[in-house]
Amino acid sequence: MKIAFLGIGLMGDPMARRLLAAGHQVTAWNRTHAKAQALTGAGAQAVADLAEAVRDAQIVISMLEAGPTVASVLQQAMPSLAPHALWIDMSSTQQAEAQTFHQQLTAQGCRFIDAPVSGGVGGAAAGTLAIMAGGSAGDFSEAEPVLSAMGRATLVGPAGSGQVAKLCNQLIVGATINIVAEAMLLAQAAGADPAAMRAAIRGGFAESKILEVHGQRMLDRQFVAGGKVSTQLKDQRNILAAAEAAGIVLPLTELVTARYQTLAQTIPQADHSAALIGLEQLNPGQRVGTVPDRFD
């Protein structure tokens, strides 16, 4: 399959490498061309011109920072798209943005799937991402063999539904990180060993990937960004926008959003597990562990 991959960042680089390892022809494009060039050793063709990158591609995959960036790149690329090309946007955007991309591409005779992911850089490198897809069954059937090189893809509904599923994922992630932080600080403040508490409850009903991964990061005070505070805040705001559009109220998500909004004022580039730091700031004199915080 001839694929144009747009956006060679922390996630895009390992995702594109998985496609190359699966035998696909990948043309890589990034606004900072050096990032695309880093894939040439793995077999990709790095192209500096966006129009050239998408020309003749059967599938275009975008992995960009946010909806406005996707919209800008899409507008620039559309005149050069091949007839009936399938655009798969794996970025995290708003549902309404994904639906607009679908309408724009359909009007030009092309097709669209929104397919945001969860699993982080580690999942991207291992090819184990959870991929939530929105689009038609026929388009998903065509895309699935490509998506399977990067992880496990599930069709969850029409265009825009993939973004809804990703927002549900981020809703759970954002809230659970904060709950794990509260458990860590409670254990510390009440005289228990937070690490031993975490070990004791592993395997019970409180077990989760968040407790496993982010709980350890909190114990290690390791806040080097995997998922950034700023990115989590963007997702939280998108969740609330989707809730408003659906006519529902999400009171806990509103609280979590407020916590990340406060944290983003001081350490926006830290890992979102730095929610622990924000909690400690609400409780002067209380701190989990004794090692210094790490941000790089």
How many CA atoms does the CB half-sphere of 45 hold within 13 Å?
14
DSSP 147-182: HTTTEEEEEEESTTHHHHHHHHHHHHHHHHHHHHHH
CA 116/CA 121 separation, integer angstroms: 14
CA 205/CA 195 separation, integer angstroms: 17
CA 179/CA 273 separation, integer angstroms: 11
Considering 166, 209, 228, 234, which one is annotated as catalytic?
166
Angle at CA of residue 7, ends 95 and 114, nearest 5°: 25
Asked whether the beta carbons of 67 and 90 are under 8 A apart, the reply is no
Asked whether the beta carbons of 98 and 77 are under 8 A apart, the reply is no
In the annotation, is 2 catalytic?
no
CA 276/CA 99 separation, integer angstroms: 36
Q: Which residues of 13-29 are buried (b: 16+ CB within 10 A; e: fewer)?
A: bbbbbbbbeeebebbbb
Angle at CA of residue 111, ends 46 and 97, nearest 5°: 85
Active site members:
166
